[in-house]
């Protein structure tokens, strides 16, 4: 059995790493195919170096572009490699354009598709990821659902129960595997002059937030208010899309410390020690929940409702007033929730299921 593991963006590298690690441990015959959707050093290579992943056998280097152009180029590139390599299975993770193209290319060639992190739904078609998730799930032969809820969603869409496996989310594995390493190798707080639990950590990059001037302005205003009200620094490692849009819209960001995106080890340390995390990222909502750090989500909905139900997360949208109110409520809450996202063995479970697919 030969396997292709496709990845293309920061979260895919991080969340696929526990699966790659397990494939290596079991000496599976596999290769990594990088689409090149993310390519800047701090969005891509830094993670391979830190996590200790091998360099991908292929990199399509597609770079940035409109959805159609980017997805189309990835589709064409992946098909060529799959024709040459003839793997038995293709694995994709998450909901990016790289995932959609990978699942589509493989399923049209009747290669078995495994979708890691299947069954997440925001029910908001304004987010490009929602379309990618639905299509990838419906192209897949093996759906690795992180929770019982995601399994129920897939069943509700008519996907056969035999194809669905509840494994937990590989982000729990990634946090557990890398946090110890982070505390040995990095000192992000010292570098930034921060004290534990005396700062807020922010990330924001969703297209439907940062490409809309009013929403991005609302988020920045909310963060400014948070810094003033609580006299705490707001640390915002900024995604390149967001940096570009702040400058294009000419927005002010007073009282917010913007930094370049940081590597995974430093980011985990910053998250684990933050008083509160404010984010529109999927992975960061999950990590905050696992690390027992309260989270305010800068969106009107989430495909990770388990984190809200557990009491770890609250939806604030992009209104400055609501951000401040939700932050206050979350900071008053005790971090006593149980992590609903898995036990940190998702990578092992996925490898076992794939091994049994012969
Ligand atoms: C993509 C995914 C999103 C995921 C995010 C993770 C889609 C539709 N979106 O969004 O689901 O949450 O990755 O971070 O697949 N850029 C760089 N360097 C890079 C990559 C991007 O400078 O290495 C800049 C470019 O200006 C580019 C913009 O960021 O136009 C957006 O990049 P793109 O990959 O299209 O989408 P993301 O916002 O990164
Ligand atoms: N992350 C990181 N450095 C940063 C910001 C985020 O390493 O400066 C990590 C974070 O720990 C999480 C992942 O990137 O595991 C989330 O990726 P992103 O927010 O880009 O995408 P999403 O999860 O929303 O798809």
Tell me the pLDDT tens digit for each residue of 187-214.
999 999 999 999 999 999 999 999 999 9
34 in ligand 1 pocket by Cβ < 6 Å? no
38 in ligand 1 pocket by Cβ < 6 Å? yes
CA distance 135 to 216: 29
Token pair of 337 as six digits: 């929730």
Nearest residue to 133 (alpha-carbon basis) of 105, 160, 170, 100: 100
47 in ligand 1 pocket by Cβ < 6 Å? no
Nearest residue to 51 (alpha-carbon basis) of 3, 73, 19: 19
User: Domain 2-169+342-356 in CATH: superfamily?
Assistant: Glycogen Phosphorylase B; (3.40.50.2000)
Q: Which atom number of ligand 1 is nearest to the Cα of residue 97?
A: 15
Quick: pLDDT tens for 325-343. Answer: 999 999 999 999 999 999 9
Of all residues in the chain, what percent carry a pLDDT higher than 90? 99
Say yes or no to pLDDT of 358 above 80: no
Residues of the chain with CATH 3.40.50.2000: 2-169+342-356, 178-332
Q: How confident is the model at residue 119 (pLDDT cuts 50, 70, 90)?
A: very high
Sign, CA torsion 149/274/220/258? negative
Token pair of 98 as six digits: 């790289």
The second-level CATH assignment, the architecture, of 178-332 is 3-Layer(aba) Sandwich (3.40)
Mean pLDDT computed over 257-262:
98
The protein residue whose alpha carbon is closest to atom 15 in ligand 1 is 96
241 in ligand 1 pocket by Cβ < 6 Å? yes
Q: In a mutational test of the pocket of ligand 1, which residue from 9, 120, 207 has the highest number of ligand atoms less than 8 Å from its CB?
A: 9
The alpha carbon of 268 and the centre of ligand 1 are apart by a number of angstroms equal to: 21
**Hey, which residues are catalytic here?**
205
Count of positions (residues) in the chain: 358
The contacts of residue 354 (CB under 8 Å, 6+ apart) are 1, 3, 28, 89, 91, 114, 142
Identify whether the C-beta of residue 141 lies closer than 8 Å to the C-beta of residue 113: yes
Say yes or no to pLDDT of 93 above 80: yes
pLDDT confidence of residue 232: 97
pLDDT confidence of residue 101: 98
Say yes or no to pLDDT of 283 above 90: yes
The protein residue whose alpha carbon is closest to atom 26 in ligand 1 is 241
240 in ligand 1 pocket by Cβ < 6 Å? yes
Mean pLDDT over all residues of the chain?
A: 97
Say yes or no to pLDDT of 47 above 90: yes
Quick: pLDDT tens for 239-252. Answer: 999 999 999 999 99
Identify whether the C-beta of residue 116 lies closer than 8 Å to the C-beta of residue 98: no
Q: Is the pTM of this model over 0.75?
A: yes
Q: How confident is the model at residue 69 (pLDDT cuts 50, 70, 90)?
A: very high
Mean pLDDT computed over 292-296:
98
């Amino acid at each position: 059995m030969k396997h292709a593991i496709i990845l293309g963006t920061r979260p895919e590298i991080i969340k696929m790493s526990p699966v790659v690690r397990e494939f290596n441990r079991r000496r599976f015959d596999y290769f990594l195919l990088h689409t090149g959707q993310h390519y800047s050093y701090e969005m891509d290579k830094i993670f391979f170096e830190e996590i200790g992943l091998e360099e991908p056998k292929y990199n399509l280097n597609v770079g940035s572009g409109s959805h159609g152009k980017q997805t189309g180029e990835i589709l064409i590139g992946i098909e060529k490699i799959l024709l040459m390599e003839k793997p038995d299975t293709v694995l994709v993770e998450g909901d990016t354009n790289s995932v959609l193209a990978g699942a589509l290319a493989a399923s049209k060639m009747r290669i078995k598709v495994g979708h890691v992190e299947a069954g997440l739904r925001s029910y908001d078609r304004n987010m490009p990821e929602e379309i990618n998730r639905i299509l990838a799930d419906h192209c897949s032969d093996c759906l690795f659902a992180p929770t019982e809820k995601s399994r129920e969603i897939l069943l509700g869409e008519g996907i056969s129960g035999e194809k669905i496996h509840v494994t937990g989310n590989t982000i729990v594995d990634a946090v557990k595997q890398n946090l110890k390493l982070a505390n040995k190798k990095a000192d992000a707080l010292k570098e930034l002059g921060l004290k534990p639990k005396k700062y807020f950590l922010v990330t924001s990059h969703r297209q439907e937030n940062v490409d809309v001037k009013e929403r991005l302005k609302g988020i920045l205003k909310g963060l400014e208010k948070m810094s003033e009200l609580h006299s705490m620094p707001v640390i915002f490692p900024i995604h390149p899309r967001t940096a570009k849009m702040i400058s294009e819209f000419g927005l002010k960001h007073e009282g917010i410390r913007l930094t370049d995106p940081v590597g995974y080890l430093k980011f985990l340390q910053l998250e684990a020690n933050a008083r509160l995390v404010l984010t529109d990222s999927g992975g960061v909502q999950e990590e905050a929940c696992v690390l027992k750090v309260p989270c305010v989500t800068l969106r009107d909905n989430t495909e990770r409702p388990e984190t809200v139900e557990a009491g770890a997360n609250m939806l604030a949208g992009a209104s400055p007033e609501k951000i401040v109110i939700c932050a206050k409520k979350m900071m008053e809450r005790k971090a006593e929730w149980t992590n609903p996202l898995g036990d940190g063995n998702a990578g092992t479970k996925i490898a076992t299921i794939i091994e049994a697919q012969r």
